[in-house]
């Protein structure tokens, strides 16, 4: 089962920190990304627990230990844990229920890039309990 397609990001790491290009320029230039948002997660909290019918989503976790989870059509859960310094682009296709949990002791962050613009009253997001 491979619901969460994970691609390691090539980061420039220096003494002062790291720099990374989270999504390929070709995807941005082709108009594949229509919404970018950054959210924080306090320790022990969960983000997501939903599914998108039309939208593809690409997520980078950083700053804290994070559990990513997704459900297949039979309700079986796939999980993967990312460390605070692990820079990975997680691709979530339409129709895959997903959630993220901060399992660390520090505030964590999710950078989300979406194929659809965010419009609250016309959202294709439906709540699904993943975690």
Lowest mean pLDDT among 29-43, 46-60, 66-80, 95-109: 29-43
Indicate the pLDDT class of residue 122, thresholds 50, 70 and 90. Answer: low
Q: With beta carbons less than 8 A apart as the criterion, state whether 99 and 121 touch.
A: no
pLDDT range class, residue 83, cuts 50, 70, 90? very high
CB contact set of 96 (below 8 Å; sequence gap of 6+): 3, 51, 70, 71, 72
pTM given for the model: 0.91
Question: Counting runs of H as helices and runs of E as strands, what totals does the chain give?
Answer: 1, 12
Task: Annotate 28-48 with b (16+ C-beta within 10 A) or e (fewer).
Answer: eeeeebeeeeeeebeeeeebb
Instruction: Calculate mean pLDDT across residues 47-55.
Output: 95
Q: What is the spatial distance between Cα 83 and Cα 106, in angstroms, rounded to a whole number?
A: 11
Average pLDDT over residues 46-69: 95
- Res 11 pLDDT > 80: yes
Q: Which helix (H) or strand (E) holds 10?
A: none
All structural domains of the chain, each given as residue ranges with its CATH number in brackets, are 5-10+25-127 (2.60.120.10)
């Amino acid at each position: 089962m491979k619901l969460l397609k994970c691609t390691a990001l090539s980061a420039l790491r220096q003494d002062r920190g790291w720099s990374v290009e989270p999504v390929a320029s070709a995807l941005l230039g082709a108009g594949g990304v229509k919404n970018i948002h950054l959210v924080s997660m306090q320790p022990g909290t969960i983000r997501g627990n939903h599914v998108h019918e039309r939208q593809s989503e690409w997520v980078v976790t950083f700053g804290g230990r994070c559990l990513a989870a997704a459900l297949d059509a039979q309700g079986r859960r796939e999980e993967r844990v990312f460390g605070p310094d692990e820079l990975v682009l997680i691709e979530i296709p339409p129709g895959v229920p997903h959630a993220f949990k901060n399992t660390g002791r520090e505030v964590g962050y999710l950078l989300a890039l979406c194929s659809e613009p965010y419009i609250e009253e016309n959202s294709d997001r439906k709540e699904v309990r993943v975690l």
